[in-house]
Structure 1
């Protein structure tokens, strides 16, 4: 059961960094991809409701941590509150902007999405730096935390732009291809996805998961319930993909054909 819990935790964090990380990076690139209101509306429209579904993997990961590794949750959250608070603040600001956007908000909500996405990406970077530090229950010092946060934020941004090359059309698509290359598509997104998935796995390898696993009876009770959430999230992903469609590139202009 311990192995199942560790694999489930790793899989949920990897899925969030790949799927949710693309949304965060796209939010960071919103001013570049969308130069006017219509273009920003198109680029931002790719974030909602996809980000809600993608964040389900993070919520499931937190639930697995709380259910199967409760002692570790208390130790890490108590020691890393200084980096977790900005991370949560970025998440709240970003989601406020997304919800406001969905309700027809103006430029202010776009600014909230961009600022929240940048803060969230940097927060994840500093958190990962703290986890891999020698003392993983304390925030990483600025000498290592700040460069790591900046580097991880750039990875989020690159992943978001690669995702934009698959999800957008028109001028935002052309701007994304300026950074990813004219032939960018699934290969570039697969490369950035592999890097993003590796981030939480490499950092989580330093956590004392096996030493802090919950009692076997607790796992036998809660773990099956948590596992049942996986097919529900996969079904939500499939439904979201069917609704949004999977448009293909139209050569040589690089535009995607309009849906009938």
Structure 2
């Protein structure tokens, strides 16, 4: 059962980094991809239908860690609590910028919200890069994670460029095309990141025992097909290039 839980955690972690990593990366590149308010609305519209559904993968992964790997949860929070504080703050700032930018029809207001989206996206990328860096360093704590945090954060921007190249109108996609990235390739790299980081974790030392592990794993197995189906429906519905601004 513990092997199943590890595989499920790899699936949910990879799913989050591939899907949410794309909108985080696009947010990091927002000032470059969109030069004015009209263009920036199109850039945000490229991931607007997806970003809430993408975050469900993180919620599921966090629940799996709490239920099946309490030792890992304790270890990460103990060693990296400043990073997780930054992560949560950046998450709120970015989502606040996305939700509030359309509430007031004023260039200064939208500009401020766009700045929040960019800052929050960079904060998320750096925080996740530090978490992955710490795991890659064998649990070396905040210092080890900080060393690898920036290079890993750049992966989010690279992944975002690949997504933007696929989703944006041709005129704007040309800017993203200056970055040598394809969404399929960058998705493969992002999916590999948590798997490689997980190799350094001593899973037998952090896994739960008994009914808690079994219940968490079984519940996750039931939820996974539903999540995959919902995600596939959203991506099929909003496939292709975006042509008009969204509700954000």
TM-score by length of 2: 0.89
Q: Are 2:42 and 2:243, in contact at CA under 8 Å, matched by a contact in 1?
A: no
- What CA distance in whole angstroms lies between the structure 2 residues aligned with 1:10 and 1:208? 14
In the alignment, which residue of structure 2 is the partner of 1:216? 210
The structural deviation recorded for 1:236 is 2.0
- What CA distance in whole angstroms lies between the structure 1 residues aligned with 2:112 and 2:163? 24
In the alignment, which residue of structure 2 is the partner of 1:231? 225
The structural deviation recorded for 1:12 is 0.6
Q: Are 2:155 and 2:190, in contact at CA under 8 Å, matched by a contact in 1?
A: yes
Q: Secondary structure at the match of 1:75?
A: helix
- Tell me if 1:204 matches 2:198: yes
The structural deviation recorded for 1:157 is 0.6
In the alignment, which residue of structure 2 is the partner of 1:117? 121
Q: Which is bigger in relative contact order (C-alpha 8 A, separation at least 6)?
A: 2
What does 1:161-200 align with in structure 2 at a 5 Å threshold?
A: 161-180=161-180, 188-200=182-194
Deviation sequence 1:72-101 (CA, Å, 0-9, x none): 212221221122211222112111112223
- Tell me if 1:52 matches 2:52: yes
159-168 or 207-216, larger mean C-alpha shift: 207-216
- Tell me if 1:140 matches 2:143: yes
TM-score by length of 1: 0.85
| Structure 1 outlier segments of 4+, above 6 Å | none
The structural deviation recorded for 1:103 is 4.4
The structural deviation recorded for 1:137 is 6.2
- What CA distance in whole angstroms lies between the structure 1 residues aligned with 2:15 and 2:179? 24
Q: Are 2:71 and 2:205, in contact at CA under 8 Å, matched by a contact in 1?
A: no
The structural deviation recorded for 1:204 is 1.6
Specify whether residues 223 and 157 from structure 1 end up closer, same or farther in structure 2 by C-alpha distance, changes over 3 A only: same
What does 1:1-260 align with in structure 2 at a 5 Å threshold?
A: 1-101=1-101, 103=103, 106-134=110-138, 136=139, 138-141=141-144, 145-146=146-147, 148-180=148-180, 188-247=182-241
The structural deviation recorded for 1:106 is 1.5
Deviation sequence 1:204-231 (CA, Å, 0-9, x none): 2112222221113222223222222212
Count of aligned pairs between the two proteins: 240
- What CA distance in whole angstroms lies between the structure 1 residues aligned with 2:184 and 2:129? 21
